[in-house]
Amino acid sequence: NAGVTQTPKFQVLKTGQSMTLQCAQDMNHNSMYWYRQDPGMGLRLIYYSASEGTTDKGEVPNGYNVSRLNKREFSLRLESAAPSQTSVYFCASSVGHSSNYGYTFGSGTRLTVV
Amino acid sequence: GNSVTQMEGPVTLSEEAFLTINCTYTATGYPSLFWYVQYPGEGLQLLLKATKADDKGSNKGFEATYRKETTSFHLEKGSVQVSDSAVYFCALTQHMEYGNKLVFGAGTILRVKS
């Protein structure tokens, strides 16, 4: 069982470059999420998709865009990377958006912007 | 909004010692509470959860009880092993316009020495 698959695992960008982080899940989950993890700050929600065809902002959406391509895939795009976006990015999915469901996380993308 | 406060780490213990990682929360309503664990280089994995007051979540020897009166969800284990060395995150659900999100604490590093 693959679960949640993220690509790439590592990436170095120059300031101003763009890139797309890919995420796919094979568990038939309805909801998908993008978080960033920074030291001492836990995980912060960037964007989420409660169901196929919908996307909404989380607490730190500036500088990012997302696309829920289909039920399986949820991509995160950085249009013009900045050093402040250096972080570890995690994609997650859940069966639904009820408060009782936990999330399944991918293994993360470590992004460095120089 | 909802928030989670965890004890600062790192916590360093000898093998077979008793573990407590404190977690307190601020929330409106009655959120579900979770503990996640992150091993080096990996994504977060759900360790245990509790969905209502006085519920006890347990898994792999770890336990936590949802205490509404003290707004706490402390993680405990009677005898830790070297393999328990990881980062532990306390989290709760927060309602959003469309669905719910997980709000995470900053994480507590646990190091277990043999």
pLDDT (0 to 100) of residue A17: 97
Nearest by CB to A99, which of B36, B46, B100? B100
Tens of pLDDT, residue by residue over B64-74, are 999 999 999 99
What pLDDT shows up at residue B9? 85
pLDDT of residue A5: 95
For the segment B93-106, the average pLDDT, to the nearest whole number, is 82
For A56, the closest chain B residue by CA position comes to B98
Two structure tokens written together for B19: 């573990």
Instruction: Judge whether residue A99 has pLDDT over 70.
Output: no
pLDDT computed for residue A39 by the predictor: 84
Q: Do B89 and A42 touch (CB under 8 A)?
A: yes
Q: What is the mean pLDDT of chain A?
A: 92
DSSP string, B75-87: EEESS--GGG-EE
Closest partner CB to A100 (pick from B32, B96, B99): B32
Q: How large is the average pLDDT for residues B77-97?
A: 92
> What's the pLDDT tens digit per position in B14-71?
999 999 999 999 998 888 999 999 998 888 999 999 999 999 999 999 999 999 999 9
What pLDDT is recorded for position B2?
A: 86
Q: Nearest to residue B74, comparing CAs of B62, B82, B86?
A: B62
- Binning pLDDT at 50, 70 and 90, where does residue A1 land? low
User: Closest-CA residue in chain A for B35?
Assistant: A102
Contact A90 B43 (CB under 8 A): yes
Are A100 and B4 within 8 A, CB to CB? no
- Asked if B43's CB is within 8 angstroms of A107's CB, the reply is yes
A110: closest chain B residue by CA? B41
Nearest-angstrom CA–CA distance, B62 and B19? 9
| Cis? peptide before B40, omega within 30° of 0 | no
Nearest residue, CB atoms, B34 vs list A44, A58, A102: A102
Q: CA dihedral defined by B1, B22, A94, A22, rounded to 10 degrees?
A: 90
Please report where in the chains the tokens 């993008």 appear, as a residue. A34
pLDDT at residue B64 in the model = 98
Contact call for residues A77 and A65 (beta carbons, < 8 A)? yes
Other Cβ atoms less than 10 A from the Cβ of A9: the count is 11
pLDDT at A96 over 80: no
Contact A31 B99 (CB under 8 A): yes
pLDDT at B100 over 80: no
In whole angstroms, give the CA distance from residue B103 to residue B81.
28
The whole-number pLDDT of residue B93 equals 86
Looking at residue B61, its pLDDT comes to 97
High-pLDDT (> 70) share of chain A, %:
96
Q: What is the pLDDT of residues A2-52, one digit of tens each?
A: 799 999 999 999 999 999 999 999 999 999 999 999 988 889 999 999 888
**Are the CB atoms for B47 and B37 separated by under 8 Å?**
yes
Give residue B41's pLDDT. 85
A90 has pLDDT over 90 = yes
